[in-house]
């Protein structure tokens, strides 16, 4: 694991990876990110969210139109829900989780399968850190849910909805994951943190 | 004017005590502005520069959008209080528009804009305090700001000016040297390939002097590039070192 900057040569042979480019038979980093030499991956440390089909997002209704709802996604793109397919009646300020159907030609994120989220709390994190908050095979998020008894919905757009359980601890843990996303052994440190708070509480 | 010209080299040293190819101290801090997608703050001698990056976002007005790549927009501005002289008045003037254009062209060569058709990437460079060489400082800061925004780039360009004082080719001119030197040549370079991305010249140099100037800029660039890379890595390494 090493931190690389744009233009830095990472391999002296051409290997196609995301967030890199190849020139003169050599591979260079195109973004500020963490390069894993063994797994041959370059994970960006910063960056905006680019919607992909099938991704889960958390949004806030900002506008009601005759045939649709406009959804704020904390992203450079606006979300839209076609009212025809919406089951509940939604109003401005409602929080929803939804799935991305497509990014249409007007750069609007068309959403589907929405579900209204009642109550709870929202925190915004950097979208580039979301994979770490979920963890490989959902390990991190499972551990969080077990440790805090909160209900958590993680949107790929970097917006997280939390309800119930120890909300303060959940928030603290998520923000810590965001800050330390590029370090190794993070899952263990978060487990320790959750266990420690459990013991101090039961005393 | 010639009569009032101050002596720029005394005992083989420049006015601020530097050698001919010595840079002023440079300090860069990455990610200083929360609202921007990417940002950097740079101190280069007495120059103080903020750079902020927004995007890729919808290109507005719409007719500026390019269906094949992201358009780069750049705004260089000096704060009205940035300089002791009158050219630091606020708002875009002839000079600011020119610098915005050449800066934009530097970054058009390194940003991989083909990934984001129809969008714009805006670069803002705000000079808070100036002491010569602000366009070079602006480009150096904007490169770091772009990297912190996560926009894919082919390289991290740097810029620095070369110049001529009397018979000497010097590097990184400050305000007073800039005003009274025989030549001022700001150069931006892509350090990976050595390509020149910006080259302007005030005054005149001979062929040999010009070659010497480019060579000195490339050499100084190694130092600047290192500071840029360290500024980007520092906030992350600080955290990873804690858990080593």
Of chain B, the percentage scoring pLDDT greater than 90 comes to 68
Provide the shortest C-alpha distance from residue B233 to chain A (in Å): 7
* Predicted local confidence at residue B1, as pLDDT: 47
Q: B2-242, what's its fold?
A: Ribosomal Protein S5; domain 2 (3.30.230)
CA distances, B178 to each of A184, A189, B201 (Å) = 49, 54, 11
Three-class DSSP category at A40: coil
Question: CB-based contact (8 Å) between B37 and chain A?
Answer: yes
Nearest CB to B239; choose among A30, A48, A180: A180
* Predicted local confidence at residue A48, as pLDDT: 83
pLDDT in tens, A127-172: 989 988 998 889 999 999 998 899 999 999 999 999 988 899 999 9
Banded pLDDT at A117 (limits 50, 70, 90): very high
Residue A47 has pLDDT above 90, yes or no: no
Select from A6, A44, A76 the residue whose CB has the most chain B CBs within 10 Å, as the one to mutate to test that interface. Answer: A6
Partners of B232 on chain A (C-beta within 8 Å) are 3, 5, 32
Segments making up each domain of chain B, as ranges: 2-242
Asked if B55's CB is within 8 angstroms of A45's CB, the reply is no
Residue B155 has pLDDT above 60, yes or no: yes
Of chain B, the percentage scoring pLDDT greater than 70 comes to 95
Asked if B112's CB is within 8 angstroms of A3's CB, the reply is no
Nearest-5° angle of CA B71, CA B39, CA B152?
45
pLDDT in tens, A29-45: 999 999 988 888 898 99
Of chain A, the percentage scoring pLDDT greater than 70 comes to 99
B18: exposed, middle or buried (C-beta count within 10 Å: 0-12, 13-18, 19+)?
middle
Question: How confident is the prediction for chain B on average, in pLDDT?
Answer: 91
pTM: 0.86
Provide the shortest C-alpha distance from residue B94 to chain A (in Å): 32
Partners of A9 on chain B (C-beta within 8 Å) are 192
* Predicted local confidence at residue B89, as pLDDT: 58
Residue A202 has pLDDT above 70, yes or no: no
Partners of B227 on chain A (C-beta within 8 Å) are none
Partners of A183 on chain B (C-beta within 8 Å) are 239-240, 243
pLDDT in tens, B39-81: 999 999 999 999 999 988 888 888 998 888 999 999 999 988 8
Of chain A, the percentage scoring pLDDT greater than 90 comes to 59
Euclidean distance between CA atoms B193 and B170, whole angstroms: 23
Provide the shortest C-alpha distance from residue A87 to chain B (in Å): 31
Residue A105 has pLDDT above 80, yes or no: no
Q: How far apart are the first and last CA of chain A?
A: 39
Nearest CB to B148; choose among A32, A76, A189: A32
The per-residue DSSP string of B148-203 comes to HTT--BS---EEEEEEEETTEEEES--HHHHHHSSEEEEEEEETTTTEEEEE--EE
* Predicted local confidence at residue A12, as pLDDT: 92
Residue B121 has pLDDT above 90, yes or no: yes
* Predicted local confidence at residue A75, as pLDDT: 81
- The answer to whether the CB of B190 falls within 8 A of the CB of B157 is yes
Residue B87 has pLDDT above 60, yes or no: no
Cα radius of gyration rounded to whole Å, chain B: 18
Provide the shortest C-alpha distance from residue B152 to chain A (in Å): 5
Euclidean distance between CA atoms A50 and A58, whole angstroms: 14
Bigger pLDDT: B186 vs A83: B186
* ipTM confidence score: 0.86
Asked if A185's CB is within 8 angstroms of B243's CB, the reply is yes
Asked if B233's CB is within 8 angstroms of A6's CB, the reply is no
């Amino acid at each position: 694991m090493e931190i690389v900057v744009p233009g830095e040569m990472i391999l002296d042979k051409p290997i196609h990876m995301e967030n890199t480019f190849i020139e003169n038979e050599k591979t260079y980093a195109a973004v500020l990110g963490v390069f894993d030499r063994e797994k041959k991956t370059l994970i960006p440390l910063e960056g905006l969210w680019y919607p992909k089909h099938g991704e889960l997002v958390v949004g806030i209704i900002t506008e009601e139109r005759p045939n649709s709802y406009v959804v704020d996604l904390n992203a450079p793109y606006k979300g839209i829900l076609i009212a025809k397919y919406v089951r509940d009646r939604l109003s401005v300020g409602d929080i929803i989780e939804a799935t991305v159907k497509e990014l249409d030609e007007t750069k609007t994120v068309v959403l589907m399968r929405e579900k209204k989220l009642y109550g709870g709390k929202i925190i915004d994190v950097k979208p580039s850190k979301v994979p770490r908050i979920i963890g490989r095979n959902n390990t991190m998020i499972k551990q969080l849910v077990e440790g805090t008894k909160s209900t958590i919905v993680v949107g790929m757009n970097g917006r997280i909805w939390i309800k119930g359980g120890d909300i303060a601890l959940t928030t603290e843990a998520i923000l810590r994951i965001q800050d330390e996303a590029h370090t190794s052994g993070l899952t263990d440190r978060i487990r320790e943190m959750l266990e420690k708070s459990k013991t101090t509480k039961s005393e | 004017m010639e009569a009032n010209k101050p002596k720029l080299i005394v005992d083989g040293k420049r006015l601020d005590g530097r050698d001919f190819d010595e840079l002023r101290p440079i300090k860069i801090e990455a990610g200083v502005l929360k609202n921007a997608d990417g940002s950097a703050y740079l101190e280069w001698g007495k120059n103080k520069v903020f750079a902020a990056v927004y995007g890729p976002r919808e290109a507005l007005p719409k007719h500026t959008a390019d269906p094949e790549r992201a358009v780069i927009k750049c705004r260089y501005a000096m704060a009205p209080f940035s300089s002791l002289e009158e050219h630091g008045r606020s708002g875009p003037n002839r000079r600011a528009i020119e610098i915005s254009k050449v800066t934009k062209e530097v970054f058009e060569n390194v940003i991989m804009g083909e990934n984001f058709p129809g969008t714009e990437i805006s670069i803002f460079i705000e000079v808070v305090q100036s002491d010569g060489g602000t366009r070079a400082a602006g480009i150096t800061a904007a490169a770091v700001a772009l990297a912190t925004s996560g926009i894919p780039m082919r390289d991290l360009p740097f810029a620095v000016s070369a110049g001529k004082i009397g018979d000497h080719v010097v590097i990184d001119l400050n305000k007073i040297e800039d005003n009274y030197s025989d030549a001022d040549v700001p150069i931006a370079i892509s350090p990976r390939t050595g390509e020149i991305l910006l080259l302007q010249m005030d005054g005149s140099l001979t062929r040999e002097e010009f070659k010497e100037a480019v060579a000195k800029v490339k050499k100084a660039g190694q130092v600047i590039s290192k500071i840029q890379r360290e500024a980007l890595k520092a906030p992350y390494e600080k955290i990873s070192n804690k858990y080593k």
